[in-house]
Amino acid sequence: MNAHRVNIIGLLQLIANEDEQNKYQWEVPFVSVPNEMCCQWFDDFYHPDFNEFRAQFSQEELHSFKEFNALFEKYVKRLPETLIELHGCPEWKLITDKANKILDSHGWRNIKVEYDAE
């Protein structure tokens, strides 16, 4: 799978799954998983103006990312920096619900994401 697809789908899977977020935090206790998820989406993975990025997704997929991005952007500054606080945050619940809807609508819920062999 192309790196853009792996990164976006994998991050949406993480955002949608509290258990995976807890596992990530346990594996890297020295980082803020909430900050990591925000940075990965806004800084590292979501690049809708980049032709190579857009070429890897359907128009329907890109539209769902645009909606997700708008919601995430609306609340990102209000999100707490600790995972335990994040899980109790109503704005985060809206974001995770949207990520879950995207996973379900595109059939990405339980797929294993792996980079293409080079």
**pLDDT tens, 85-100?**
999 999 999 999 999 9
Q: Is 67 left (phi over 0), alpha (psi -120 to 50) or beta?
A: alpha
In single-letter form, the type of residue at position 28 comes to V
DSSP structure string for 47-70? -TT-HHHHTTS-HHHHHHHHHHHH
pTM comes to 0.95
Nearest-angstrom CA–CA distance, 36 and 47: 17
pLDDT tens for 34-89 read: 999 999 999 999 999 999 999 999 999 999 999 999 999 999 999 999 999 999 99
